[in-house]
Amino acid sequence: MFVLRYEIITLLFTSAYSEAAPLFGIYLFSALLPITLTGSPIRAHEEFKFFRFKLHLALMPVTFGALYVCIHAAGLIGAVSALVGLQTLEVAIVLAAIGRRLGFVTGDLRHLRPALKTALAAGVAALAAFAVKLQLPQAHTLAKMAVCGAVFGAAYVFAAYALGAVTDAENTEFHAALSRFMSRGSRARQKLGATGTTID
Judged against a pLDDT cut of 60, whether residue 160 lies above it is answered with yes
Per residue in 92-117, pLDDT (tens digit) is: 999 999 988 888 888 888 888 888 99
Please return the burial class of 129, using the count of CB atoms within 10 Å of its CB with bins 0-12, 13-18 and 19+: buried
Per residue in 46-62, pLDDT (tens digit) is: 888 889 899 999 999 99
pTM comes to 0.75
What is the reported pLDDT for 192?
Answer: 64
Dihedral angle at the C-alpha atoms of 87, 93, 98, 99, nearest 10 degrees?
A: 120
What is the reported pLDDT for 126?
Answer: 95
DSSP label at residue 112: G
- Cβ contacts of 145 within 8 Å, gap of 6 or more: 4, 7, 8, 11
